[in-house]
A = this chain, B = another copy of it.
């Protein structure tokens, strides 16, 4: 299977970490997020112009959440118990609908604009995204136990959230008010699969 990805993208890290965790070999091809993802040959694979994109023979799949689920089918990362599975689904949806948009606002103003030379950050947008980030993260903090993972045993939910929270520092979003989130994040990021996904950009590429 071939994965079109970009090393710094948290959505790509989700997919790579799951593949590494499950020992699924992936042929990774780096796409330049800013230019390459708008090239006609890439848009033919994903008309949204976004990474990651998985190719499995003639089947082309985009949206990192869908790719994670496809790779993890039949594995222990998808809980068999209906309520555990629902807990996993809850956090995956929550990341997509709430945490992701909040962090994207801040990342766009603080990181993407600087990288692209797109002018000064919009401070009102940063304040808005920061407030949403803290409101969301307070919910996660209150939901977490002192140890363990988001849906009981390790599941796709942990791999869906951790690559985003791992970028909180780079976005100047403070995690110190959230000791359980910090402890969970440290635990997930210590896994060899996450280490490999996070530090992928500093390794020799396949």
Contacts and interface: CB of A to CB of B under 8 A. Distances in A.
B83 A63 contact: no
A114 B73 CA distance: 45
Contact of A63 (B69, B82, B93, B142): B93
A89 B73 contact: no
A38 to B, nearest CB: 12
- Interface residue tally of chain A, by bracket? 20 to 34
Contacts of A47: 138-139, 142-143
Contact of A65 (B59, B93, B136): B93
A176 to B, nearest CB: 20
25 contacts: A47-B138, A47-B139, A47-B143, A48-B94, A48-B136, A59-B86, A61-B90, A62-B90, A63-B89, A63-B93, A63-B94, A63-B97, A64-B93, A65-B92, A66-B86, A66-B89, A66-B90, A66-B92, A70-B85, A70-B86, A70-B89, A73-B82, A97-B97, A97-B100, A101-B101
